[in-house]
Structure 1
Amino acid sequence: METGFRKWIIVITIITSTIIELIDTTIVNVSINTMSGNLGASLEDTAWVITSYAIANVIIIPMTSFLAEKIGRKQYYIGSILLFTLASAMCGFSDNLWELVAFRFLQGIGGGALLSTSQSILFETFPAKERATASGIFSLGIIIGPSIGPVMGGYIVDNLSWQWIFYVNIPIGIAAALLSYIYLKPSKKSTDGRSIDWLGIFLLTIGVGSLQVVLERGQTDDWFAATYILVLSIISALSIAILIWWELRIPFPVINLRVLKSTTLSISAIMTFVLGFGLFSNVFVFPLFSQRIIGYSAFQTGTMLLPGTLMAAMISPFLGKMLQSGLRPQYLIILGFGLSAAFGYIMSGSNLATGGAYFFIPLIFRGLSAALLIVPLTALAVSELKPAEIPQGAALNNMMRQMGGSFGIALINTYIAHREAANRTALITHVTASDPQTIMRQQSLIQNFMAHGSNYLRAMQQSIGALENIVVRQTFLLSYMDAFLLLAILNACCIPLVIVTIKKRKEVKAAKVVVPDAH
């Protein structure tokens, strides 16, 4: 444990490292078009810049506890920051797509390690009774990072070049590494002679890596219609099944799955998966909706997300204090899922005339729900673990959030595509030559185009094109509304699960009460 100035320098360093890692999960999204043009690559190929980072993140996160123990936590943490920083610089220097993809993978290896290691260091920095406060502080990075990524990315792309998306990490990474070297407590690597679980590392890399590729690329390549998606799905299922069997069999696994014997950690991991699903899906769907339907720029979209993010950042430390004072985390979790459901439900009522003022309240709900879910779930996940088990429990919980995000984006993307087909079919059945409203709208458009200089034939063609554009916009609108409603339903369905855990916890406590002997 640390105190005073040293303690808060460590806190600032940890939060900064977490934020820059999570910023890089979303900052690239808004610059894909620019990268594609500058590197002479297709949009489909350029998407691997995002995919490679996500794959590396999910592979390395569950291994962080093992690697930190083998190398030494301080050494591993500083090494991860330096790898992330160096890879960021090389991403900026890349002059072809696949070179950029390779360095993004290395950046993801360094960045993914920062998440769980940062959380473990924070828990060591604070005494056990202040662990909930540490969770509140750690959640700042998780909340702020993904939300301000699109803002920063949009501003940089509009005013500088896409390379600066990576260059901005360099001074921050160097400063974080120096502060970590100076202020973090020295840590020794394990010298107990344990053999390295190479098979576990191999199975984890193959299984989780294949699954991540399937999730990231499935919608683009029509899922199982693509042979490589089918093959990778089979490889992933077999590898993960063998991994679970192997890790439970050997004494010193790379992932200690035995910590999942803690019912609290297991249930928290499930809810954290749903949290990741909703958190990343919301940040994915809203920018698409606001840019494709409302016509906002990437920077404007990111700016709209800021008030909710700032609100969440302000209340996170207080939530930690409330949990520390004895408030049951389940009550905050229920409120969080309720607000997240309210966000989806309100957003599902948008229309083409909706303005920025309409989004303010639901986006505040989104920000508050993120804080109300991340802080208590982070604290709840490790609340019953022994100190030696906390790093592994934190790593598994973080992996579930990242995997939830990957599943969420993949499934929501697929759902939107399916709804687009259904909604278009439903709309065009009403746009016919015999429909009175269609005839009236088309005649109005023809007169408007002729008033601007077109002859009748040209105006007729332009009116058909205009009607098609109207159908397309309405199709996209209805599809995004369906997606928001689906997210609302999923979040609402989690509330009964949390209520069950409260009742179960009370039953366990009641069973432990010793009944006095009547004699």
Structure 2
Amino acid sequence: MTGLTLAITSIALALGTFMQVLDSTIANVSIPTIAGNLGVSANQGTWVITSFAVSNAISLPLTGWLMGRYGVVKTFVGATALFTVASFLCGIAWNLESLILFRILQGAVSGPMIPGSQALLIMIFPPNKRGTALAIWSMTTLVAPICGPILGGYISDNYTWPWIFLINVPVGIACTVLCWRNMASRETPTRRIPVDKVGFALLVLWVGSLQLMLDTGKEVDWFSSPAIVVEALIAAIGFVAWLIWELNEKHPIVDLSLFKRRDFTLATIAMCLAFGVFFANNLLLPLLLQTRMGYIATWAGLVAAPSGVVAVFLTPFAARIMGRIDARITATVALAAFGLSFFMRSEYTPDASFGALVMPMLVQGLAMSTFFVSMITLSLNGVPAPQIPSASGLTNFSRLMVGSIAASLATTVWDNDAAVHQTRLAEGMSSGNPIFVQTMERMQAAGLTAQQALSAVTAQVVNQAYITAALDFFRVSAWVVVAMIPLVWLCKKALSNGPSHAAAD
């Protein structure tokens, strides 16, 4: 493939990656708008994020089997076509339940899109230009998180939220048609390979039950609800059964034997916990800005976007030096930068300027430029070439699972901590507090009734409680990611151009 055909096909494949990554971030800043439009709480609105993430995680282990059984081209084109249909369904969703159902479908069919686009880009370029193919793929994965918050915010403020999903439809159709037209004749060899149906069914059972418990627990007062107790039991029993099955299955859907390798286990734990914190903070910040600090969705998106800009700018430079520097050093820099970013957020004030809000996001961009490559390098170090696809799939599955769990817990932790702060602040709302009395008198002198003045003060107390709780969340997040640094140094030395990556390529 050469010339214009190569260029068009490359763009179409890159757009497939772009759509999938975009939909992982575009809804973050739109949650308050979606929740308000559908008549549900912002906490329930976050299910739009977690449902996509968890279904995407569940579908990942099937990607390798699908590509081997039906071919990479058919799998990628089919996934893209179904993703486009699911995006359309999300755009016409009539209530929260239907939107969550269609987001689950969207996440489930999107599993092969990123690995498929990467594999096909490498396939259509000659060996001496594979670096160009990977550069195209990498840039789309970095640019999409920049565009997601900005597009989501702009669309929510100036149009209607369904368009954050409907914009995928023309792009998806073009990508599907162009890729099939130009690559149908280049299908990869297929073979009949066994699939672990029982293992996959058990995986869906325990992950689905766990996510349902985490998402709905707060609404029904957790374990005082029989439904939550049943879901917890199903998740626990299903997880144990899945572990036993996978460890004894000849062709497991997830190769858990990889956890026998110390470096793989330590690096995966560090990456998953750090990513979970990162994912939860990316969800919480737009909620804080829009519900407690008076920002509209567009400006909340503009606050979040600079981290992606910095990552795009620094990644090419980081890639040049990471082949010569121990991955433990670059991973430490990334984790320290994440910690600094979260700590800087814990210093936010209710009247913080746009510049003050953006500065921590710039530091986060530094972390993003080296984090993923460093942690993947450490986790794959010493893994035999035949097991690298399984190892890569397992790290991605674990990362997305922890991210969705962290997102589900984030708003619950935020609400609970805010309630504690509100109780403490409310203690000062008494006749024994001269500041409270003076404030009430001034507000009544301005024309408010005593009830109106009390309501205004209460609203300020609630607002301050939520802001303080968010600052607590950011501060704890900083300590959690910094605590991952020792795990990194328990791994063996690894370079990003070491044997494991050569094999992966």
Q: CA deviation at 1:132?
A: 9.9
**Aligned counterparts, 1:339-418, within 5 A:** 339-418=337-416
Aligned to 2:502: none
Letter in 2 for 1:72: G
Contact 1:276–1:403 at 8 Å: present in 2 too? no
CA distance in 2, matches of 1:127, 1:376: 27
Q: CA deviation at 1:340?
A: 0.9
CA distance in 1, matches of 2:125, 2:372: 18
CA distance in 2, matches of 1:131, 1:228: 52
Q: CA deviation at 1:489?
A: 0.8
Deviations 1:60-97 (A, max 9, x none): 01221222222222221111111101221233344455
**Aligned counterparts, 1:70-469, within 5 A:** 70-95=69-94, 97-118=96-117, 140-181=139-180, 182-183=182-183, 185-191=186-192, 194-323=193-322, 325-447=323-445, 449-450=446-447, 458=449, 460-469=450-459
For the structure 1 residues 98 and 472, does the alpha-carbon distance in structure 2 shift closer, same or farther, using more than 3 Å as the test? closer
CA distance in 2, matches of 1:298, 1:130: 41
Structure 1 unaligned spans of 5+: 507-519
Q: CA deviation at 1:496?
A: 1.6
CA distance in 1, matches of 2:109, 2:341: 34
Moved more, 487-496 or 238-247: 238-247
CA distance in 1, matches of 2:122, 2:262: 21
Q: CA deviation at 1:146?
A: 4.5
CA distance in 2, matches of 1:358, 1:402: 30
Letter in 2 for 1:426: R
CA distance in 1, matches of 2:113, 2:375: 19
For the structure 1 residues 31 and 304, does the alpha-carbon distance in structure 2 shift closer, same or farther, using more than 3 Å as the test? closer
Aligned to 1:471: 461
CA distance in 1, matches of 2:302, 2:202: 42
For the structure 1 residues 381 and 241, does the alpha-carbon distance in structure 2 shift closer, same or farther, using more than 3 Å as the test? same
Q: Equivalent pairs: percent with the same residue?
A: 30
CA distance in 1, matches of 2:4, 2:61: 32
CA distance in 2, matches of 1:127, 1:150: 35
Contact 1:22–1:146 at 8 Å: present in 2 too? yes
Letter in 2 for 1:75: K
Aligned to 1:28: 27
Deviations 1:196-237 (A, max 9, x none): 322112111112222222233333433323322222222122
Contact 1:219–1:413 at 8 Å: present in 2 too? no
Q: Secondary structure at the match of 2:349?
A: coil
Letter in 2 for 1:482: D
Contact 1:337–1:492 at 8 Å: present in 2 too? yes
Structure 2 unaligned spans of 5+: 496-505
TM-score by length of 2: 0.87
Letter in 2 for 1:221: V
Q: Secondary structure at the match of 1:294?
A: coil
Letter in 2 for 1:473: N
CA distance in 2, matches of 1:272, 1:14: 27
CA distance in 1, matches of 2:486, 2:426: 40
Letter in 2 for 1:395: G
CA distance in 1, matches of 2:263, 2:137: 20
468, 487, 499: which one pairs with 1:497? 487
Contact 1:54–1:212 at 8 Å: present in 2 too? no
Q: CA deviation at 1:372?
A: 2.0
TM-score by length of 1: 0.85
CA distance in 2, matches of 1:387, 1:437: 69
Aligned to 2:476: 486
Contact 1:219–1:410 at 8 Å: present in 2 too? no
Contact 1:85–1:169 at 8 Å: present in 2 too? yes
Contact 2:206–2:235 at 8 Å: present in 1 too? yes
Q: CA deviation at 1:363?
A: 1.1
For the structure 1 residues 318 and 142, does the alpha-carbon distance in structure 2 shift closer, same or farther, using more than 3 Å as the test? same
Deviations 1:157-178 (A, max 9, x none): 2222333222211222233334
Deviations 1:302-351 (A, max 9, x none): 0122222111112223323322x322222111111111111111111111
Letter in 2 for 1:18: T
For the structure 1 residues 371 and 256, does the alpha-carbon distance in structure 2 shift closer, same or farther, using more than 3 Å as the test? same
Deviations 1:376-435 (A, max 9, x none): 223443344444433322221111221121122223222212211211122122222111
Deviations 1:178-208 (A, max 9, x none): 44432585212223xx433221121111122
Deviations 1:76-126 (A, max 9, x none): 111111110122123334445544443322211111332344455567789
Q: Secondary structure at the match of 1:282?
A: helix
For the structure 1 residues 44 and 300, does the alpha-carbon distance in structure 2 shift closer, same or farther, using more than 3 Å as the test? closer
Q: CA deviation at 1:25?
A: 2.8
CA distance in 2, matches of 1:470, 1:220: 24
Contact 2:330–2:374 at 8 Å: present in 1 too? yes
Q: CA deviation at 1:296?
A: 0.7
